[in-house]
Amino acid sequence: MFFKDVIGQQSIKQKLIRSVREGRVSHAQLFLGPEGSGNLALALAFAQYLNCENRQPEDSCGTCMSCVKSLKLIHPDIHYSYPAFKLKAGSENPALSSDFLPLWREAILENPYRNVAEWLDFINAENKQGNISAAECRSIIHTLSLKTYESAYKILVLWRAEYLLKEGNILLKLLEEPSEKTLLILVAENRDQLLSTILSRTQILSVPRLQDNDLLQALIHKHEVSEADAIKIVRKSDGNYNETLRQLKNTEDNNQELFNRWLRLLFSPDTPLLYQWVDEVAKIGREAQKGFFRYALEFLHECLMLQHIGAHQSRLHEDERKLGDWMARNMGAGDWQAMADLFDQSHYHIERNAHPKILFLNLSLQMLPIISRKKLSLTA
């Protein structure tokens, strides 16, 4: 991960970079900050920077062999420990983080801001508790005692030190006297849940909540959300980027549901239900309506990719695919153009204060002939 991809936290990034430049990197650090502050993201960016072969003043180079591997979380000298559970309940084999390594890479590359509950969900823990077991601690000691493969530092990033419980004391000696060029970066959210023995042996880096403006910039530039929508989302996020992502997903899910239902109503016209839909969408507010049209245009684009290039190039989610496949099978060049023009014009008119109820009703009437003349069935 690059420092530039970590949201906000400018002064912390500067502090970490300065510690490398001045050769004052503490061998046992605790990145302590609330959910969504980016404490893990900072740890990943720091690890990448430390082992970069061509460090730049503000970030790692991104092109050296070390960066290439760090970016994919496959660097042989950067290790990860995180809550895990026994693969087979009741078995003698202890819970080890490495059992979940491919999933860890996938989950963290997708969102390094996710919380433990979401991680456990990702690895299908169901009701199983995650922990960092005594066996995991012993495995850490073993791993860090091995020679480095190729880089400046051997690094352990331990995500959520709260999950160490008593077993964490196995690591004390390592925290006190690690071997040369070995770094331990612990990441945690709740100081109260940490072993005092760990707190006293690590240098604490306090990571604050994110500032609203940093979240706002991320939404506008990274996620292409309109400023008005972004302000609403940020207000509900409380400096937590993970919460921002959840809010964003809710908005997207809502657009997807509205759009999906609309096309189905157009396909097998049911006038009362269509009127009901128009009433509903007329009330969601102008910004949300603009969001609906942006979603609709993106959806058309993805359907076109599906039709012309194939499924591998489509970014449609699983639950959008059925409708997407149907569109790709049934729509011709003229249809795509007609729909795109309609959505584009509607977006334009919503922005200029058109009456939403009239606009959505008119739009539905213009869409009807495009959709309903397709003979193949669109089943749920």
Sequence-ordered strand ranges (E) for the chain = 28-32, 78-81, 154-159, 182-188, 203-206
Element (H, E) at 319: helix 318-330
Residue range at the interface with Zn ion (CB under 5 A); choices 51-59, 158-166, 183-191, 352-360: 51-59
The minimum distance between CB 128 and Zn ion, in angstroms, equals: 38
Phi (first) and psi of residue 159, to 5 degrees: -90, 120
Which of 64, 199, 231, 370: binder of Zn ion (CB under 5 A)? 64
* 17 belongs to the binding site for Zn ion (CB under 5 A): no
Q: Which is nearer to Zn ion, 66 or 289 (CB)?
A: 66
91 burial type by CB count under 10 A (0-12 exposed, 13-18 middle, 19+ buried): exposed
* 327 belongs to the binding site for Zn ion (CB under 5 A): no
Please state, in angstroms and rounded to a whole number, the distance separating the CA atoms of residues 252 and 354: 23
* 50 belongs to the binding site for Zn ion (CB under 5 A): no
Please state, in angstroms and rounded to a whole number, the distance separating the CA atoms of residues 181 and 163: 26
Q: Which is nearer to Zn ion, 152 or 354 (CB)?
A: 152
Q: Which is nearer to Zn ion, 56 or 93 (CB)?
A: 56
The minimum distance between CB 49 and Zn ion, in angstroms, equals: 8
Q: Which is nearer to Zn ion, 50 or 245 (CB)?
A: 50
Which of 37, 60, 182, 240: binder of Zn ion (CB under 5 A)? 60
The minimum distance between CB 65 and Zn ion, in angstroms, equals: 8
The interface mask with Zn ion, positions 334-363, x = CB under 5 A, is ------------------------------
Residue range at the interface with Zn ion (CB under 5 A); choices 52-60, 124-132, 351-359, 371-379: 52-60
The minimum distance between CB 154 and Zn ion, in angstroms, equals: 17
Nearest to 339 by CA among 371, 316, 313, 375: 371
49 burial type by CB count under 10 A (0-12 exposed, 13-18 middle, 19+ buried): buried
DSSP string, 236-296: TTTT-HHHHHHHHHHHHHHHHHHHHHHHHHHHS--HHHHHHHHHHHHTS-HHHHHHHHHHH
What distance lies between CA 110 and its chain's CA centroid? Answer: 5
Contact present, 353 and 328 (Cβ < 8 Å)? no
* 101 belongs to the binding site for Zn ion (CB under 5 A): no
Which of 16, 50, 67, 304: binder of Zn ion (CB under 5 A)? 67
Q: Which is nearer to Zn ion, 41 or 52 (CB)?
A: 52
Residue range at the interface with Zn ion (CB under 5 A); choices 57-65, 75-83, 119-127, 185-193: 57-65
The minimum distance between CB 54 and Zn ion, in angstroms, equals: 5
* 152 belongs to the binding site for Zn ion (CB under 5 A): no
The minimum distance between CB 51 and Zn ion, in angstroms, equals: 8
The minimum distance between CB 184 and Zn ion, in angstroms, equals: 22
Residue range at the interface with Zn ion (CB under 5 A); choices 23-31, 67-75, 182-190, 358-366: 67-75
The minimum distance between CB 179 and Zn ion, in angstroms, equals: 24
Contact present, 230 and 221 (Cβ < 8 Å)? no
End-to-end CA, the chain: 41
Which of 61, 103, 172, 342: binder of Zn ion (CB under 5 A)? 61
Position 297: which residue type?
Answer: L
Please state, in angstroms and rounded to a whole number, the distance separating the CA atoms of residues 360 and 376: 25
Contact present, 154 and 127 (Cβ < 8 Å)? no
Position 124: which residue type?
Answer: N
Q: Which is nearer to Zn ion, 61 or 342 (CB)?
A: 61
The minimum distance between CB 52 and Zn ion, in angstroms, equals: 3
Contact present, 205 and 49 (Cβ < 8 Å)? no
The minimum distance between CB 59 and Zn ion, in angstroms, equals: 9
Contact positions with Zn ion (CB under 5 A) in 206-235: none
137 burial type by CB count under 10 A (0-12 exposed, 13-18 middle, 19+ buried): buried
Which of 52, 144, 210, 328: binder of Zn ion (CB under 5 A)? 52
- Residues of the shown chain interacting with Zn ion in the complex, contacts defined by CB under 5 A: 52, 60-61, 64, 67
